[in-house]
Structure 1
Amino acid sequence: MNYFSVVFCTILFSVTSSFSQEKIEKYVVGKGETIAQIAQKFKTTPYEIYKLNPDAQNGLKPNSILLIPKSTGKSSVTSAKTVTQQPKTHVVIAKETLFGIENKYDVSDEALKKANPDLEKYGLQVGQVLNIPSKNIPSKSNSKTPVVAKNVAIYHVVQPKETKYSIAKKYDITIEELERKNPEIVSNLAVGYELLIKGNGPKPVAKIVPVETKAVSEKQIAISVPEPVNYIDYTVKAKETFYSLSKVFGLTQQQLIELNPALSAGVQEGMVLKVPSKSNQISVNSAKQKVVLTKKNSQDKKTLVLLFPFNIAKNGGDTITSTVNRLNNDKFLNMTLDFYSGALMAIDSAKQVGVSMDVKIFDSNETKTTSNVASVFSDNNLANADAVVGPFYQSNVERTASLLSQNNVPVISPLSKDAGNPMPNLYQSIVSTSVMKSAMFDFLTAKQGNVIAVIDKKKETIRKYILENQKEVKIAPLTATGGLDVENFKRLLVRDKMNYVILETGNTGMIKYTMNAMLGVMSNYQIQLVILEPNETLDTDEISFENLTKLHLMYPSATRENNSPEAQIFMQSYRKKNKVNPSTYAIRGFDITFDTMMRLSQDKTYQETAETMITEQVESKFEYHKKEEGGYVNKGVYILYYDTDLTIKEAK
C-alpha cells in the first residue's frame, strides 16, 4: 500500500485546474449576414456563437444584437499586481447553473448574489455578465448575529447543549416565534433537527450528508430541506398497531408519538391521530422512510472491506517516469483513484460523527474477467466482514458475493450497470435504465396527466414496451415518411390537463419538428416534453436550449445537482484536501462508502436497513428493493426538469 500512497498523492497534487474567461463583444447584425460570416469576421466558430445566443439557431434578424466571444491571451507586459486588481467577471452561457458557477470560482451562493443583486429577482440569463467576488475581501461586519436577507428562508441545525432560548437570542427572535415556525419542537428540541428561523420555507427531511466537525455534534448528521408537510386526521381502526400505522404512514413509532402524545399510552381503537397526508408519504405500499442515520451505541466494532482495482502488481518495476505516464494515460486507474479519494473523504466524515469502524482496503487486482479476490479473502480471513464494497467489474462482484454467500455478508456493487445474477447478498447500487423508465411512468401516472408518446420507427422496442406495459399512454401517429402527423397529434391533446409528450427518437429533424408542434399549441394547452433516458441529440447545438426550457424538459436521473449548504461543505472540503474539484467518480466513492458505513453503524443489520430505510447523499439516493429472484436493486430515482431560469429542478 506504500507504493499506492505515492501514486495517489502524485495524481492528486500534480493535477491543477485553471479557468480562463472569454471577453464578450456585442455585435449588431447586418442585413443578409449569416452566422458563418460573423464567426469568420471575429475569428471564432458558429458553435461558440450559438452557445451564447441559442435563439440565433432560429435565424438572424437585421439590427438584432449578438454576443460574440473574443478570446484574450495573457499579456507579457501586464504585471501580476495589475491582474489581481482587475475585477473578475463571468459570462453566463447556455445550460450553466448557479451551483456550477459557484463551484467553479469557489464562492458561496450568498456572496455571488450579493455581488449581483439582479440574480435574486431575475435569475440567470444567457449572456449575463456576473461579478465574481474576491475571496480575499474581508467581511464588513464582525457581528456574531447571522445576517438574514429579506424573503430568504434561513435554517439552523440544533447543536448539543443548545436551547430554544439560546437559538432565539442568536437570531434575535422570540421563543414564541421559533415555536410557531417549528411546532414540532414545542414538546422537545432534538439535537440535529433543522429549524426554520426566518422567511418561508419547507420543513426538513432526513438526509445523510457530510459535515464539518464544528458544525455538528459527535453523533449527528445534518439534515436538509424537503417539501412542506400537510397533515390530516385519521381514526384508528380495530386491531391496528404501531407497526401497521408505521407502514401506512411511513413514520416510526417515536414520530407517531411526537405528533400524537396520547399514543404514549398505546394504540386504541377510535383514536383520532394527526398524520401526514398521502401526498407526503414516501411510499404508500412500503414501510420505508427517509431517515437521519445517527451513530448507534454498539458493543461490536463493525468491519467494512473496500476492494478497489489499483492493480499495483502491474507496476512492480516501474520507474517514476513510467508511473507518471501511466497516470496520464490510464483512464481506469484515474477512475479508481478518484473513487478512492471520495471513499477516504467518507471515512473521515464518518469519524467526525463518531463512527468507529475497522475499514480494510485491498487491491482487487482485476480485469473484466479476472481478479485476486479469492486469495485476498483466504489470506486475510475476511469471511466475517460486515459488508464489502467492490470490486468494480460485475463478474468479480458476483464472484465475491458467491464467496460470502454462506455468511450472508452484503456485497455492494459500486459501479456496474449490469442487472446481476440473483444472489441473495448482492446489492446493485447503480440504478438501471429499466428502473428509471418505470419511475418516470409511475410519476406520470401519479400526476394523472394525459400521456402521449412520439416514437420514431427505429424505436420499436420502446413502442412494444409501451403497448404491453403502459396501456394508458397514447401513441402519436406518424406520416408515411416517418415524421410526426401534427394534425392527428393535436387531436390527442386534452384541455385542463397537463399533456406529457414522451419523445423517443435520435433524429434531429424529428426532435425539432415535434418541439415546434408543441410550442405551437402552448397558448391553448398545458404541455411538457419528457424523455425516458439520456438523449445525446438534445445536447447538440442544433437543438435550441431555450426551447427545451420553455417545454420544461423532464427526465429520470440516478443523480441530482445538490446545491444545499451540506453539499457545498463537501465540495469545499474535497477541494481543500485534494486541490481539485471532485469528479463524478469521486462523488460516487463518497456516496456509496459513507452510506454503507452509516448503515453499518445502526443497531440493525445492513440487510434490515436496506429493507426499511431510504437514504440520500451528495448526488445519489439509495432505495433498495428486494428482487423476487434474489438480491437487491437500487430504485433511488430523481425526476428532474429544465426550468426557465436555466436551472435544473426536482419535479414534485
Structure 2
Amino acid sequence: MKYFFAIYITVFLFTTNTFSQEKVITHKVEKGETINQIAQKYRVTPFDIYQLNPDAQSGLRPNSVLLIPNKSGAQTVSVPPKTNAQGQSHVVIAKETLYGIEKKYEVSDEDLKKANPFLENEGLQIGQILTIPSKNAPKNAVVNQDKFIYHDVLAKETKYSIAKKYGITIEELEKRNPEVVTNLPIGYRLIIKGAAPKAEKVVERIAEKVESKEEKEKQDLKKALTVVDYVAYEVKPKETLYSLSKMFEMTQEELIALNPELNNGVEIGMLLRIPSKTPVSIGDKKEYKSLSKKITYDNRKRMVLLLPFNIANIESDTINSTYSRLKKDKFLNMTLDFYAGALIAIDSAKTLGLPIDVEIYDSRETKNSSDVATLIQSKNLVNANAIIGPFYQSNAETAAQLVGMNNVPVVSPLSKDIGNPYANLYQTIPTNEAIKGAMFDYMRSKNGNIIAVVDKKKESIVQYIKQYQKEVPFVAFKENGSLSAESLKSMLVKDRMNYVVMETGNTWMIKTTIASMLSSMSAYQVQLVILEPNETLDTDEIKFANLTKLKLMYPSVTSDYVSPEVAIFEKKYRKVNNIFPSDYATRGFDMTFDTMIRLVQNKSFEDTVNSAATKRGENKFEYYKKEDGGYTNKGVFILYYDTDMTIKEAN
C-alpha cells in the first residue's frame, strides 16, 4: 500500500493526468477499522475505495494509507494527452489492464513493454506513466482536452433522475453505459459525457482484476455474468467478499456483478444470488446420512440419562395418590413419555449389539433447582461419553459446565432457550427463528417469488420479516383495513412459483387471500404458506378442499406423516405400553437412538455432528456450531397438504 501511495504522490506532483487534489484524499488505517466504517466516514461506497486501492480487497493493514475519492455526486476528470520525443504518454488509472491499453493505442504487448521495461518486473500499477510508441496514434484519440463527466450512483437514484440532472436522455445514458440497461448498481461509476465504452471495455469495468490478455478469458467472464439459474445464499458472520468468492469458486468481480449490493460491503444476513451450478454446498448445508453402516465395536461407551422423575416428591405426597398425581402433573407425564420412548431405543440398541452401557438417574429438577451437580460428582459423570438431559435449560447448562473439562456432550432434550454458551452443549429443539428461516430457505431454493400477507396484529412476524427477510414485500391493505386483492395479484409473476406467506387469525382476511389465489391459478403458479400453527384454518368456515388445492405448506419440528420407520416404532411401543406413543415418547426414542448411533462411530460425537445430519422417525438432527459456542439444531421438516388429502414432506 505504501508503494501505491508513493507512486500516486509522484504522479500528482509532476503530471496533470491524474485526479485534482480536491478529488482524492488519503486515510491512514487504524487498528480494527473495516472498509465499511471507512466508506461511511467519507460518504463513499466500499467499491469506490477498492477502485483506487485494489489490494485492499485482500484485507486492511493498520497504518497503511488508502486513497479516498472526495465525492460530491458528479466528478469531472480532465485527461489531456501528453507527448514527448519518444511518443505519447499515458497515466494508468484504476481498472485498466495491459490488454485494454494496448488495444486502445493499437500497440503490441512487445512494443509497449520495450518502451516501458519496468512493466516486466513491476507489472501494471495505478499512477504509472507509460510511454506509448509515437508511430501508434490512439484509437479515437482525444485532442487537446476532452472532458469526461462521471457520476457515482447513490442509493435510491434512478436512470430517470440521473439523466434529468445532467440534461440527457435515458437512451443516451444507456448508450454510454450499456451494462446498466437491465439494472443500476449502487456505487457504479456512470459515464455521463464522453465516448461510450466498447463491449470489451464493459467487461473490464465490471471485472477490473480479470487477466484479459486472451479473448477467451473475456468470453468466459461474459458467460459467467449471464447465468440465469440461481440459488439464494444468506451471508454468515465473519464472511468476507474474499471468503465468499473462494467458497463459490468465483472471482470477486463475478460475485459483485450478480449482486451489485456488495458494492456497499458484505453484511450479515444479506441474501446473495449464486449460480445454481456452483460446485459447492450452498450455506454449508449438511448432508443427511445413515450412520448405521459405520459402527465400530472396539470400545464400549458410557451414556447417561438425567431425567426429572422427582420420585422423592411423589413418595412424600400424602394428599394425592400416584394415580391422581399422574393425571394432574403434565411435566411428570412428559418425562415418563420421553423415558418410555428412550427405553425402546435402548432395547433396539441391545438388539443391534451396540457396545454401550446406559445409566439412568433421577435429576430431581425444577426450573430453579436440581441434583445435577451432586450426581455428576458422586457418579463420576465427567468420565461419561454422553449425557442426555437435564430437561431445564439452566440445569443443562450446569451439567455442561461441570463436565466441560472432558468435553462430554450434554444433549438437551426439550430446551430451545438461548442461554449461556458452552462448547459441549447441544440444543435439540430448533429455535423459532430457525423454523421460520428454514421455510424461507426452502422457498428461495425453488427460486420462488415470495409475498407476505400479514395481519398488523402479528407484530412479531412483521418484525421478523423486516429484520431477516428484508426483500419480501407485504401485500397492501385498503383504507378500511381489509386486504387488497388487487395488490396481491399485482405482485404475482409468471413462470415461477408464487409463495404467499399468510399470517393472520382473521377469518375474512384468510378467505380473501384464498379466493385471490384460487382465481389466479389459471394464469399463475401459487402456493399458500404459513409460518406458525393457525387454529382458524381448522374451523368449519375455511374449506379444507381449498387448502389442499393451494397445497398449504408449513415448517414443523416434527413430521406429521407416518413414515415406515415411525410405523415400526409405533407398533413396538403399543406392544409394550398398550397405547399409541405421544410426541414426547417419539422424541425420546429418536433422540436417544440418534445419540447412541453417534457414540459408536469411529470418530468423536462432535465430529459426527459436524460431518452429518440425521433423520430419525419424526425428528431431524442437523446441528450447527453457534458463533458464541455450543450447537443448535436446524433440522426442520417442510410439509404440505397434498391434493389426495394427505400430508407429505416437500422435496
Aligned partners of 1:278 and 1:284 also within 8 Å: no
Q: What pairs with 1:74-85 in structure 2 (closer than 5 Å)?
A: none
2:508 counterpart residue number = 509
Superposition map of 1:195-234 within 5 A: none
Paired position in structure 2 for 1:540: 539
Counterpart Cα distance in 2 of 1:287 and 1:492: 30
What's the CA shift string for 1:161-205, capped at 9, x where partnerless?
Answer: xxxxxxxxxxxxxxxxxxxxxxxxxxxxxxxxxxxxxxxxxxxxx
- Other structure's SS at 2:613 match: strand
- Amino acid paired to 1:550: K
The aligned residue for residue 92 of structure 2 is none
* Aligned Cα root-mean-square deviation (Å): 2.4
2:498–2:525 contact (8 Å) kept in structure 1: yes
In structure 2, relative to structure 1, the CA distance for the partners of 1:571 and 1:371 (3 Å cut) is: same
Q: For 1:473 and 1:545, how far apart are their aligned partners in 2?
A: 27
Residues in 1 aligned to 2:327 and 2:498: alpha-carbon distance in whole angstroms: 49
1:334 counterpart letter in structure 2: N
Where structure 2 has 5 or more consecutive residues not aligned to the other structure, the ranges are: 1-246, 249-274
Aligned-pair CA distance for 1:301: 1.3
Partner of 2:421, secondary structure, is coil
Alpha-carbon shift at residue 280 of structure 1 (Å): 13
After superposition, the C-alpha distances for 1:390-448 in whole angstroms (9 at most, x for unaligned) are 11111111111111122211111101131232111111101111001111111111111
* TM superposition shift of 1:282: 10
- Matched-pair contact (CA < 8 Å) for 2:453–2:474: yes
**1:462-541 to 2 correspondence within 5 Å?**
462-541=461-540
2: CA distance between counterparts of 1:562 and 1:461?
29
* Counterpart in the other structure of 1:291: 289
Residue 412 (structure 2) pairs with residue 413 (structure 1):
yes
Letter of the 2:360 partner, please give it. I
Shift of 1:461: 3.5
Cα deviation code 1:582-635 (max 9, x no counterpart): 111100100110000000011111111111111110101100000111110001
Q: Bigger shift: 281-290 or 574-583? A: 281-290
- 1:130-162 deviations in Å (ceiling 9; x for gaps): xxxxxxxxxxxxxxxxxxxxxxxxxxxxxxxxx
Superposed, 1:152-191 pairs within 5 Å as none
> Which amino acid counterpart does residue 286 of structure 1 have in structure 2?
D
Task: Summarize deviations over 1:456-499 as a string: whole Å, max 9, x none.
Answer: 21233433332343233221111123221111221111122211
Rg larger in structure? 2
Q: Which residue of 2 aligns with 1:626?
A: 625
Whether the aligned pair in 2 keeps the contact of 1:305 and 1:387 (CA below 8 Å) is yes
CA deviations over 1:544-578 (Å, ceiling 9, x no partner): 21111111111111111353333222111111111
Q: Which amino acid aligns with 2:622?
A: E
Counterpart for residue 571 of structure 2:
572
Query: Match of 2:179?
Result: none
Is the alpha carbon distance of 1:455 and 1:561 closer, same or farther for their aligned partners in structure 2, counting shifts above 3 Å? closer
Cα contact 1:457–1:482 (8 A) shared by 2: no
Check whether the contact 1:296–1:602 (CA below 8 A) recurs between aligned residues.
yes
1:308 aligns with 2:300: no
Q: Whole-Å Cα distance in 1 between the matches of residues 279 and 570 of structure 2?
A: 31
With 615-624 and 506-515 compared, the bigger mean Cα shift is at 506-515
Q: Distance in 1 between matches of 2:404 and 2:629?
A: 12
Distance 2:645 2:278 in 1: 28
User: Paired residue for 2:428?
Assistant: 429
Task: Show CA shifts across 1:206-261 (max 9, x none).
Answer: xxxxxxxxxxxxxxxxxxxxxxxxxxxxxxxxxxxxxxxxx99xxxxxxxxxxxxx
Q: Between Structure 1 and Structure 2, how many residues are aligned?
A: 379
C-alpha distance after superposition, 1:502-553 (max 9, x if no partner): 1121222211221122122222221111111222222233322111111111
SS at 1:383's partner residue? helix
Look up the match of 1:323: 322
Q: Using the TM superposition, name which of 555-564 and 630-639 deviates more.
A: 555-564
Q: Which amino acid aligns with 2:590?
A: D
Task: Return the alpha-carbon distance in structure 1 between the equivalents of residues 281 and 562 of structure 2.
Answer: 25
| 1:468–1:564 CA distance, 2 compared to 1 (3 A) | closer
User: Contact conserved, 2:297 with 2:354, CA < 8 A, in 1?
Assistant: no
Q: Offset at 1:340?
A: 0.3
Q: Report 1:360-399 matches (<5 A).
A: 360-399=359-398
Q: CA deviation at 1:303?
A: 0.7
Determine the structure 2 residue equivalent to 1:458: 457
After superposition, the Cα gap between the structure-2 partners of 1:280 and 1:595, relative to the gap in structure 1 and judged at 3 Å, is farther
Q: 2: CA distance between counterparts of 1:540 and 1:507?
A: 12
Which residue is 1:643 aligned to? 642
Alignment check: 8 A CA contact 1:282 1:288 kept: no
Alignment partner, residue 591 of structure 1: 590
SS in 1 for 2:537: helix
CA distance in 2, matches of 1:393, 1:505: 32
Local SS of the residue matching 1:290: coil
**Structure 2 Cα separation of the partners of residues 411 and 315 of structure 1:** 27
Q: 1:600 is matched by which residue type in structure 2?
A: L
Question: Relative contact order: is structure 1 or structure 2 higher (C-alpha 8 Å, sep ≥ 6)?
Answer: 1
Q: Relative to 1, partners in 2 of residues 1:395 and 1:502: Cα closer, same or farther, differing over 3 Å?
A: same
CA pair 585-279 structure 1, distance change in 2 beyond 3 A: farther
Rate the CA distance shift 1:320–1:568 in 2: closer, same or farther, 3 A: farther
How does the TM-score come out when normalised to structure 1?
Answer: 0.55
Task: Please tell me whether the aligned partners of residues 560 and 647 of structure 2 are also in contact (alpha carbons under 8 angstroms).
Answer: yes
Question: For the Cα contact (< 8 Å) 1:287–1:612, is it kept in 2?
Answer: no
| 1:554 partner amino acid | M
Structure 1 residue 297 displacement after superposition: 2.7
Mapped partners of 2:477, 2:554: distance in 1: 23
Distance 1:547 1:471, change over 3 A: same
TM-score w.r.t. the length of structure 2 is 0.56
In 1: Cα distance, 2:586 partner to 2:301 partner: 24
Percentage of matched positions with identical amino acids: 58
Give 2:61's aligned residue.
none
User: Hey, what's the Cα distance between the residues in 1 that align with 2:314 and 2:279?
Assistant: 53
Kept after mapping to 1: 8 A contact 2:561/2:648: no
* Contact 2:297/2:355, CA 8 A, preserved across alignment: no
Task: Tell me by how many angstroms 1:326 deviates.
Answer: 1.2
Displaced runs of 4 or more, over 6 A: 277-282
- Cα separation, partners in 2 of 1:473 and 1:320, compared to 1, 3 Å: closer
- The 3 A distance-change label for structure 1 pair 287 and 588 is closer
Letter paired with 2:589: F
Equivalent pair of 2:295/2:597 in contact (CA under 8 Å): no
CA contact (8 A) 1:304 1:360 kept: yes
* Alpha carbons 2:452, 2:501 under 8 Å: kept: yes
Gaps of 5+ in 1: 1-246, 249-276
Deviation, structure 1 residue 308:
0.5
Contact 2:287/2:612 (8 A) holds in 1: yes
Q: Which amino acid aligns with 1:533?
A: E
Aligned equivalent of 1:128:
none
Letter in 2 for 1:424: A
CA distance in 1 between partners of 2:551 and 2:578 (Å):
36
- State the one-letter code of the partner of 2:430: V
Give the direction of change, closer, same or farther, for the CA distance of 1:508–1:281 in structure 2 (3 Å limit): farther
Partners of 1:425 and 1:320 in 2: how far apart? 41
Cα pair 1:433 1:533 within 8 Å, conserved: no
Distance 2:278 2:324 in 1: 53
1:338 and 2:344 are equivalent in the alignment? no
CA contact (8 A) 2:450 2:498 kept: yes
Other-structure match for 2:198: none
The code of the aligned residue for 1:290 comes to Y
Query: Displacement of 1:645 after TM fit?
Result: 0.9
Which residue identity is paired with 2:339? Y
